[in-house]
Amino acid sequence: MSNLDRLNRQIKQATYAEDEEAVKLFEQERERILLEETDWIPSVLARAKKANDFETVNFLQQQLDNAPKPPQPPETKYEDTYKLPDAPKTIYEEKEE
C-alpha cells in the first residue's frame, strides 16, 4: 500500500471519527506528497494518456506544474571569463602618473 493510499484511508477514518484536526493534518501531508514527491507522476501520466483518461492527465499535469522547482544555480557570466589581467605598467607609464 502506497503512502497516498494509506493517507486516504486515514483521512476517511478521521472523517468518520469526526476528528477535524487529524483530517486537516492528513490532508496537508497528502498535499505535500503530491507537490514534493513527483517522481511517480511521469509514468502514471503516460499510462493515463494511453488510456485516454484526460481528467487524470489534466490533474497530474497540474500537479507537475505546481511542484516546487529546485533552486537554480547562479548564472555564470561568460563575457569576462577570458579577459586577460592588465599588463604591468611600464616605467614610462609610472613616471606619467
For 8-46, the pLDDT digits (tens) are 888 899 999 999 998 898 888 887 776 666 677 788 888
What was the pLDDT predicted at 63? Answer: 76
CA dihedral 20, 21, 24, 26 (to 10 degrees): -110
pLDDT at 1 over 60: no
CA 41 – CA 18 distance, rounded (Å): 32
The domain locations on the chain are 1-36, 40-67
Question: Per residue in 48-92, pLDDT tens?
Answer: 889 998 888 888 888 777 766 655 666 666 665 566 667 777 776
Locate cell 476528528: which residue?
19
Reply yes or no on whether the pLDDT at 6 is more than 80. yes
* pLDDT value of residue 88: 75
